[in-house]
Amino acid sequence: MKSSLKKPQPKDPFIALMFSFIFPGFGQIYAGRIKRGIFFSLAHLNFILALLLVIFHPTQKLNQHILWPAFLFILFEIFVVLDAYIYTLSLKYPFKKTFVRVVLIPLATVIFVLVFNLNILLAEIVNKFIVLAPRIVSNSMSPVLVEEDWFLVNRFQYLAGAPERGDIVFFVFPKDQSRVVVKRLIAKEGESVEIRDGHIYVNNQLVKTSGTADIYYFNGGDYGQANQVINVPRGQYYVLGDYSEKSTDSRFWGFVPRKNIIGKAYKIVFPFERSGFIQ
């Protein structure tokens, strides 16, 4: 006696593909592979959580550490999408199973490897020129940069040329190589600098650079006393915070070596209401 139960109809590979793009794992669930789909969905959520932890970890120094988790996440997503598509395709077209196993799966593997290597190459290029700096943890550069700001750093600008007066520079702190700091560049190598009556004088000339003209700079520290002219050594820079009263900068710890400068801060990306180019 023949069963009256109808044989399940093969699923549409295109719909499985779309479900996988909407949320990884949904394509497998649609194709009837419930456990596999749930596993991929939970793995996807764990990847997202791990990426968020890397991005917002309070001790994060330089966010290029996010690149490898991001690579793995992208590769995982590609694999899940291909898995759902290939499986439903083999169900709908049984006569093509050999083609799927012999041609399509190896081809997908090759594409997978190529994308992986392309991502590594692309990340190396991006990381060479752009850095997402860790969020600001003080107001020493207020109001330009305030606590909780996230900003981009342009590395390329200083590969092509030297830092200029008035630039907001991102650098490795000379007194603690595990820290990174952001300040405004005031004086370059070979120049003399003096804080006089709240203003900056470089080579005995009043500095009117954009970003410094409206700031009152306080005297203080071993390198910023009243009537003290500081000569900037070769290969070094003198930097100050815009919020002079609250900033610990070159007045207190000296100069920044050129090799310590990572790049120029140029754009706030978060919070969104403060996003924009840095002056």
- Beta bridge partners, 181, equal 171
Torsion of CA 37, 38, 41, 47, to 10 degrees: -120
How far is it, in rounded angstroms, from Cα 24 to Cα 160? 42
C-alpha Rg value of the chain to the nearest Å: 28
How far is it, in rounded angstroms, from Cα 126 to Cα 67? 10
DSSP 211: T
Write down the domain spans for the chain: 13-132, 150-277
* pLDDT at residue 45 in the model: 87
CATH of 150-277, one of 3.30.470.20, 3.90.1150.10, 2.10.109.10, 3.40.50.720: 2.10.109.10
* pLDDT at residue 21 in the model: 81
Stated length of the chain? 279
Which DSSP helix (H) or strand (E) runs through 49? helix 34-56
* pLDDT at residue 222 in the model: 93
CB 127 within 8 A of CB 67: yes
The residue among 104, 71, 102, 98 whose CA lies nearest residue 85 is 104
Per-residue tens of pLDDT for the chain, all 279 residues: 454 555 556 678 788 878 888 888 898 898 888 998 899 889 888 878 876 766 554 444 444 455 666 777 777 888 888 888 878 877 776 655 556 555 666 666 666 666 666 655 555 555 556 566 666 778 889 888 888 888 888 887 787 788 999 999 999 999 988 888 999 999 999 999 999 999 999 999 999 877 777 889 999 999 999 999 999 999 999 999 999 999 999 999 999 999 999 888 888 888 888 888 887
The amino acid present at 129, given as its one-letter code, is: F
* pLDDT at residue 62 in the model: 42
